Amino acid sequence: MRNPVQQYLEDIVAQCGDTDGAVADYIPELAAADPDRFALALATVDGHVYEVGDTDVRYSIQSISKPFTYALALTDQGPEAVAEKVDVEPSGEAFNEISLAGDTGRPRNPMINAGAITAASLVAGGSGAERFDRTLAWYGSFAGRELEVDEAIHDSELATAHRNRAIAHMLREFRVLEGDPEDTLAQYVRQCSVEVDTVDLARMAATLANGGVQPLTGERVLSGPTTERVLSVMATCGMYDAAGDWISAVGMPAKSGVSGGIIAVLPGQVGLAVFSPRLDAHGNSARGVTLCERMSRDMEMHLMHVGRSSRTAVRAAYPLSRLSSRRRRPEDDQAVLEAHGDRARVYELHGDLLFAEAEHVARRVVADDPELAVFDVRRLDDVAQVARETLLGLRTTLREAGAEAAIVDPDGVLPDPDAGTGEASPVFPDLVAAVVWAEDELVRRHGDRDPDAPDDGDAVVAEHPLLRDLSPGAREVVDGLLERLTYAEGEVVLEPGGSFAGVHVIVRGEAVATVDGPGGPDDEPRTLVTMNPGTSFGELALGTDGVQETRIRASRDLEVLRLGADALERLTTERPEVAVEVWRAMTHDGYRVADRALRASVTLG
């Protein structure tokens, strides 16, 4: 079964095929990059990754390294010490501008080259090489694997690092850097040459989205407060002199690199990575920017779209076989439900349904691969448009696989755009009604009876254990004692407190067994079970000293065959050999019903 989120990502990649811009040419190895490479990866905070395109192609991390080195410097030195060396103000300048803040003499932020070289110098270690080794291991803890350096990129970049060399010496001149600026420059160039793929970057972004906890390993890589500080600087400074346009249009903390990568972080939900080497005038991936803008708009990923975050919107998920619909069915139908009940599943949703939560629902359903899915949305609060579209995409996915979905939605939380048409999903006021639908659908799909054939109540009755298990001679005797009775919808068949009146086998229609509510006879009665053709009622009074304890009412026009109490007593006296067969059949059926009731471990509300 195809995941609708994966389908959406593939669709928008095809739609956002911009080829504007050009590869970075000031580093020879980058100038040789294939401009048509493209990859997209979206990593959730629980570790799942969606991939489109060349996600296994590796390239140098470049400036996407900056927020992670800044995070390490903050961890090693503390925010106060780092702030003495580098500010956190947007520069409005290009990433490689040779300038310092006029009022403080410090680099304006750690996302431009001057600030990033300064942050690299603040990593703990006795030399640039030692600091880099710690930095490389640090990056790997975010990616969830060991990373390596692309030596060809490193050599090419170091040989042409004239501008960055000038920045490093300027920083040393103004005492921002301490020690040999060449040592720090070599460390910085080496960190920019670390080799990653797009999945690595998505997981690194997802670690930030997850509050500093790596989704795959579960390791807390970064403290919560430091994560917040890093994301704040990424939001205001990560896209250089295009930061204002980015945060307005896309609305996610982000960082780009001149090799063509972009990472974006939606806190509490996902980490996003895009790779496309053609750069715009700001040094950001042109196609990557276009794609991120489209995803933010479609998927409501803008951080100003506020909703209460939750790990998952799935409160509970379980197969239909764990439930009782309070409906007694013919034995053949019940056998179908026992054999195929696990092919239908119920998903109880709760909280706010934003993209991350809807994605989790879609992924869970696709993994389960149900034949029928019932979504109980009575506990949902805020539902984003992207969540509605994701669930509609999930419905399409289910139908393409020959499956179907229904919804428990008495308050119209998830309105169906196809309402009133044949494409609409079944909607129910409560879970009981939805489960009845699912049971009926399973019987229709897997039972032996032709679902399009008219109901033959007498044929169904013949399969009731009271009649089916009798010998031909006994069956002939019992047939002569059966009374055919009818009751109008709403008419009471049996009253509580009455004496045993006989066994009633339903031929057509429907009956319900109810008891008084907690407030007594004036309270709303509680339905215990709904009974269909081929099932019976009345015999349970034999186990309660012959006293009827429930009220049996025709919920639809009802036709029954009754083996009355007088007829049963006469049979016992006059034809004991037949009576023995009848009592044996009734006992077997009683044990069957009791066993099924004991195994129904969930009571529906």
Per DSSP, the residues of 528-594 read EEEE-TT-EESGGGGGTTTB--SEEEEEEEEEEEEEEHHHHHHHHHH-HHHHHHHHHHHHHHHHHHH
Q: What pLDDT was estimated at residue 604? A: 45
Q: What mean pLDDT is predicted for residues 269-292? A: 93
Confidence of residue 27 (pLDDT cuts 50, 70, 90): confident
In terms of CATH architecture, what is 457-599? Answer: Sandwich (2.60)
| Catalytic, out of 63, 193, 296, 324 | 63
66 is catalytic: yes
User: What is the rounded CA–CA span in Å between residue 526 and residue 331?
Assistant: 25
DSSP assignment letter at 443:
H
- Point out which residues pair with 513 in neighbouring strands: 529, 552
> When comparing pLDDT for 604 and 117, which is higher?
117
Cα 91 from Cα 292, distance rounded (Å): 23
pLDDT at 322: 78
pLDDT of residue 308 exceeding 50, the answer is no
Question: Given this model, what pLDDT does residue 545 score?
Answer: 84
Domain with CATH 3.30.750.24 in the chain: 314-446
- Residue-wise pLDDT for 535-570, tens only, equals 888 888 887 888 998 999 999 999 999 999 999 999
Mean pLDDT of 482-505: 93
Q: Which of 221, 258, 413, 493 is catalytic?
A: 258
AA identity, residue 462:
A
Distance from C-alpha of 242 to C-alpha of 283, rounded to nearest angstrom: 9
| 270 vs 299: CA distance, rounded Å | 11
Q: Which of 50, 70, 139, 188 is catalytic?
A: 188
Closest CA to 15 of 261, 294, 263: 294
pLDDT band at 451 (very low <50, low <70, confident <90, very high): very low
> What does pLDDT average to over the chain?
88
Q: Is the pLDDT reported for residue 351 higher than 60?
A: yes
C-alpha distances in Å from residue 392, one per residue of 347, 370, 377, 387: 15, 16, 14, 9
Tell which wins on pLDDT, 68 or 359. 68
User: How sure is the predictor about 533, in pLDDT bands with cuts at 50, 70 and 90?
Assistant: confident
Active site residue 591: no
Phi and psi for 377 in degrees, rounded to 5?
Answer: -110, 20
Q: Which member of 5, 66, 413, 578 is catalytic?
A: 66
Quote the pLDDT of residue 594.
56
Say whether pLDDT at 105 is over 90: no
Looking at mean pLDDT, say which of 147-161, 461-475, 510-524 comes out highest: 147-161
Is the pLDDT confidence value at 144 over 90? yes
Catalytic residue from among 50, 240, 347, 487:
240
Q: Tell me whether residue 477 is one of the annotated catalytic residues.
A: no
Distance between CA atoms of residues 603 and 598, nearest Å: 11
Q: Where in the chain is the domain with CATH 3.40.710.10?
A: 4-299
Q: Answer whether residue 325 shows pLDDT above 80.
A: no
What CATH class has 4-299? alpha beta
Active site residue 70: no
The pLDDT of residue 605 is: 45
Q: Please give the order of strands across the beta sheet that includes 427-428.
A: 314-319, 344-353, 372-383, 404-408, 427-428
**Residues 6+ positions from 46 with CB-CB distance below 8 Å:** 215, 311, 312, 360
Specify the amino acid at residue 383. Answer: V
Architecture of the domain defined by 314-446: 2-Layer Sandwich (3.30)
- CB-based contacts of 285, cutoff 8 Å, min separation 6: 21, 256, 260, 261, 262, 274, 275, 276, 277, 278, 279
pLDDT in tens, 202-256: 999 999 999 999 999 999 999 999 999 999 999 999 988 888 889 888 989 999 9
Which range (78-82, 439-443, 453-457, 525-529) has the least confidence? Answer: 453-457
Q: Dump strand ranges (E) for 116-269.
A: 148-149, 194-196, 254-256, 261-266
* Rounded CA separation 530/433 (Å): 11
Alpha carbons 572 and 487: distance in angstroms, whole number: 28
Residue whose entry in the numeric block shows the structure tokens 């939560």: 357
* The pLDDT of residue 369: 95
pLDDT of 597 above 70: no
Least reliable range by pLDDT among 104-118, 391-405, 582-596: 582-596
What DSSP string runs through 405-441?
EEEE-TT-SS--TTTTSTTPPPEESSHHHHHHHHHHH
* pLDDT of res. 310: 45
Give the pLDDT score at 455: 52
**CA-based end-to-end distance of the chain:** 31
pLDDT at 603 over 50: no
Domain with CATH 2.60.120.10 in the chain: 457-599
Model pTM score? 0.71
Catalytic residue check, 487 = no
